[in-house]
Structure 1
């Protein structure tokens, strides 16, 4: 799929630029990329604020994400301010000035509407989608029914040639039900990845319409639909950044919930990551070396790792060592 290939090329190019302190032209030449591949990678990195346009050098990823978030917050603040001023006339809708084909408006769906009116709107948007649907999902109470509905809906849009991407909190894949359906989604043609942190629940349709939860700290606070305008483009850029730095489903550990570890497992993991040997860990914890070896084996299996070192790397990526 060309979209996935472009993502991977940009990701690999950026990684080389960071690791070897190379400019984009230098890294592209070393990787023997074609002019078209370089142009697409440059466009992707520039959109994600990961590239200094004047020097062609890379921007640190956290700084790039911060810039995208700042832009999004600034634009959202403008939306809220104008919505308050126009509330009496707009009746809950907000229209912002822009290009004739890009007038933006916002619609709020209270909590009691999420099962009815919002569900119908999401179904309509899925049917109208022509190019791409992307979703970002924090840990939530998935059910067999809701996952089955998502599978059927996504199979329908994929059959139309629409690209579908789904990004989930890594620890959510500790739920066997979600992990099983995620594999089925992939077989159906979806792209699924996991990431340690999901900033908010979000759906973006064709980079023109976005649905986000009304309050990032409250999954039950309702939702906001934003149609058109720079806000949606900014949200799409945030999604692209999160997607670019996420892990493929096959690389997500079988258990991603640090809270599910015992105190002993946590202690062993931290000392393991620090490079301590089994004998030193055993002395520190006052247990036998055999016990430590068993716990290390448990942690390696939970993380889907192939070695002690690999387990430490995966634990760090999941934020278990913070």
Structure 2
């Protein structure tokens, strides 16, 4: 599970309301703070992640505030850890970019360089990548910035990557966090995970990068006469710098998981089961018991789905849910 991001002023306002006013009801907290219930829930989730809120012993459906001294100390520790990681990434990025700048300069001045090769044109680039995919033996590392992968790129690369994975080649890929917003790319990444690829998400990436067997790196270059280019690097010092850059970003990236509380088709497995039980005519108490939650939580889930689908009754909720193939 990824570490929660830094707390905002709104998060601290929710924390103070729970600590000082003993207020736990989401609706009342939202009213007191003049924010939406969704914002309150998001703040509570982050505060729990920071260990500033913990489950109540007396009321399991609510949370209690941890001592401010303990809570703020935990926040400071996390901030210090994040600062150290950011400084490490900056240092590794600077070293890698300096090495790349020297490599590009040597290439441009001499038309080539021992340890590097400039590929011109999309056909030559793809042919080279196909060869790498068929010959790689141990590991493939990649930065893949951009929340959407072109459909033709997925179609061209997926069979080759899958064959390599089935041979036992380990894949570690870093995508932008926005990848979960594109259905085609999301399915491609999820398929790669099913085959054993390690996938993580980052808020930003410095470049597009491919490193094969820790010996060869490929980086897209600038257009030359309107043609795509890519720099192939075999120089050991430069490849080492790029590996260090990759590991620095990998260490701080979050795991690729089903979006918390909301999978790609818009409904969780728990919500789907709740709808099925309601459609079978089960009462709230029976539904809650079978789901292993309290009646209060079950009714809150129903209310949230009524609001999400703009349904005025449970009957209308069932109709709209059926139209969306949720039940």
TM-score, reference length from structure 2: 0.50
Deviation (angstroms), 1:70: 2.0
Deviation (angstroms), 1:200: 0.9
> Distance in 2 between the 1:194 and 1:84 partners?
34
- 2:118 pairs, out of 108, 125, 139, with 108
- Higher mean C-alpha deviation, range 190-199 or range 117-126: 190-199
- 1:228 pairs, out of 222, 228, 235, with 235
- 8 A contact 2:200–2:254 mirrored in 1: yes
**3-state secondary structure, aligned to 2:149:** coil
- 1:146 pairs, out of 120, 138, 153, with 153
The equivalent of 1:181 in structure 2 is 188
**3-state secondary structure, aligned to 1:250:** coil
Q: Is the alpha carbon distance of 1:215 and 1:195 closer, same or farther for their aligned partners in structure 2, counting shifts above 3 Å?
A: farther
The equivalent of 1:165 in structure 2 is 172
The equivalent of 1:93 in structure 2 is 112
- 8 A contact 1:154–1:190 mirrored in 2: no
- 8 A contact 2:147–2:176 mirrored in 1: no
The equivalent of 2:289 in structure 1 is none
Please provide the CA RMSD for this pair: 3.2
TM-score, reference length from structure 1: 0.51
> Distance in 1 between the 2:176 and 2:82 partners?
27
> Distance in 1 between the 2:259 and 2:241 partners?
27
The gaps in structure 2 that reach 5 residues or longer are: 1-49, 51-80, 265-302, 309-327
Q: Where in structure 2 are the equivalents of 1:1-322 lying within 5 Å?
A: 60-85=84-109, 87=110, 92-95=111-114, 104-105=115-116, 107-110=117-120, 113-114=121-122, 116-139=123-146, 141-215=148-222, 222-250=229-257, 252=259
- 8 A contact 2:147–2:180 mirrored in 1: no
- 8 A contact 2:148–2:182 mirrored in 1: no
Q: Is the alpha carbon distance of 1:181 and 1:83 closer, same or farther for their aligned partners in structure 2, counting shifts above 3 Å?
A: closer
- 8 A contact 1:167–1:195 mirrored in 2: yes
Please say which structure displays the higher CA radius of gyration.
2
**3-state secondary structure, aligned to 2:220:** strand
- 8 A contact 1:173–1:255 mirrored in 2: no
> Distance in 1 between the 2:97 and 2:184 partners?
35
- 8 A contact 2:85–2:252 mirrored in 1: no
Deviation (angstroms), 1:145: 4.3
Deviation sequence 1:238-269 (CA, Å, 0-9, x none)? 1111111111111656799xxxxxxxxxxxxx
- 8 A contact 1:174–1:255 mirrored in 2: no
> Distance in 1 between the 2:231 and 2:263 partners?
32
